[in-house]
Amino acid sequence: MKIAICSDHGGFELKMRLIPFIEALGHEVSDLGCYSEASVDYPDMAFPAAEAVARGEYERGIAICGTGIGVSICCNKVRGIRCALCGDVLSAELTRRHNDSNMLAMGGRIIGAETAKAIVKTWLGTDFEGGRHENRIAKITAYEAEK
């Protein structure tokens, strides 16, 4: 699977620890920035990553900032993106199964690397359940199309 990953300075260290982990799981990862711990504005990373996922250049995307909140807000402004902020494995599983999330947000200053790895592994390895959830996703898509 092709995965886009981005961070601001607050998520840089975690992003750098996740990239080789995701690659070891057999996925292709593209780092869309930032590229150091120098202070940057998270929208400058999150919007382009979400737009690339929405265009279909990547199957899924991961965005990391200090708390995960800022990048999740940005990503969810992009039509076609369903970004879930996750700090635990169960939320990561359920957002894939029930919400068909195509982006994952995490807080580099909130969760440790081992928790983040478990979240990512679960999120990447869980399929959308479909069924009753398809109607709910269709309603989100229809609402976006109206705006």
Residues annotated catalytic, as ranges? 65, 98
Q: Which spans in the chain are helix H?
A: 12-24, 43-54, 69-75, 89-99, 113-125, 132-146
Q: How far apart are the first and last CA of the chain?
A: 30
> Is the Cβ–Cβ distance between 69 and 85 less than 8 Å?
yes
Cβ 40 vs Cβ 15: under 8 Å: no
3-state class (DSSP) for residue 31: strand
Residue 118 in tokens: 């478990």
> How far is it between the farthest Cα atoms of the chain?
45
Instruction: Locate all alpha helices (DSSP H) within 39-88, ordered by sequence.
Output: 43-54, 69-75
